[in-house]
Structure formats: C-alpha cells, structure tokens
Amino acid sequence: MSHPTPTAPAETGERRHFLAWVSSFALAGSAIISALANFVFLKPRATYGAPSRFSIGRPDAFPSGARIAIEQRRICVAREGNQVAVISTTCTHLGCIIGVADTGFACPCHGSRYDQDGNVTAGPAPSPLPWYQVKLAPNGDLEVDTNIQIKPGTYLNI
C-alpha cells in the first residue's frame, strides 16, 4: 500500500501565494463592479420634456384681433384689443395638434371642431380646449404656464 507523499514546504508556499493573489484580484474586481453599479444607480435616468413655463415674446408681436398658433409649444395666442389669452392647441380627444381655422379650431385627425373660445362644436372631442395662465414678466415679455389652467374667457389686460 502506498502512502501519500507529503507536500514540500516550497509548494505549499507557492500555492498559498497563488490563492492569495487570485482572492485579492477577485475582491478588487467585485469592488470595482460594485462601485460602477452604485454610480449607474445614483445617476438619474429621467428625461425632461419641454418646460411648462416659457416666454412667448412681447405683446406687440401679437396684433389686435389675431389668433397666432405657436406649434412648437402647442398653444394659440389670442389678442383682442389690450387683452391677451393663451389657448391649448392639443385636441382633447386623442391629443392631435389642431389648427387655427376661420371659425375657431379644427382637428385634422378625427374632425373635432372648436369655436373661437375653444368650446366643442362638432366631433368626438369630450371637452373644450384648456386656457392657460399668461402673465406679463418683469422684462415685458408674455409668460405662459401650461401647468396652470384658467377659466375659459379669462384674458390678461396689458
């Protein structure tokens, strides 16, 4: 019967050194991966849309009696004399961008029609167009806040 030969002390030291090196490498690697994971977790992944409060220019840019659509902002600026109002141009049916027509507003998607004040006159739209708050900023520009809806027919005196 053969007996196992004892391991030489030099081989044991090399093996321990190798295992210590592999363990250190694995520990350092897991620390790096953990740090990267924490960085990715802490970095916000939110995407921000257009601001709800923005400037649309001076009141003089909107002549009296005009209804001017600003398609990028999905609003229509209505001016009557020294009064200004802002009406949404997003259809209340399915969110299409509506156009300014002679008789009010018209949705090209499903045929909803609105009068000059944004009240539904035809089509599948369930509710009138919202009116947004407009203020005169300290620099003289008109400032719209689409987060604040106001009562239809409310104008800002300028």
Q: Residue ranges of the domains in the chain?
A: 10-47, 53-157
Q: What is the mean pLDDT of the chain?
A: 88
Strands 83-88 and 99-101: unpaired
Q: What are the φ/ψ torsions at residue 33 (nearest 5 degrees)?
A: -65, -40
pLDDT for 71-119, tens place per residue? 999 999 999 999 999 999 999 999 999 999 888 999 998 889 999 999 9
**Is the pLDDT score of 38 beyond 60?**
yes
Spatial distance between the Cα atoms of 85 and 34, rounded to a whole number of angstroms: 54
Q: Mapping DSSP to helix (H, G, I), strand (E, B) and coil, where does residue 53 land?
A: strand
CATH code reported for the domain at 53-157: 2.102.10.10
Spatial distance between the Cα atoms of 124 and 56, rounded to a whole number of angstroms: 30
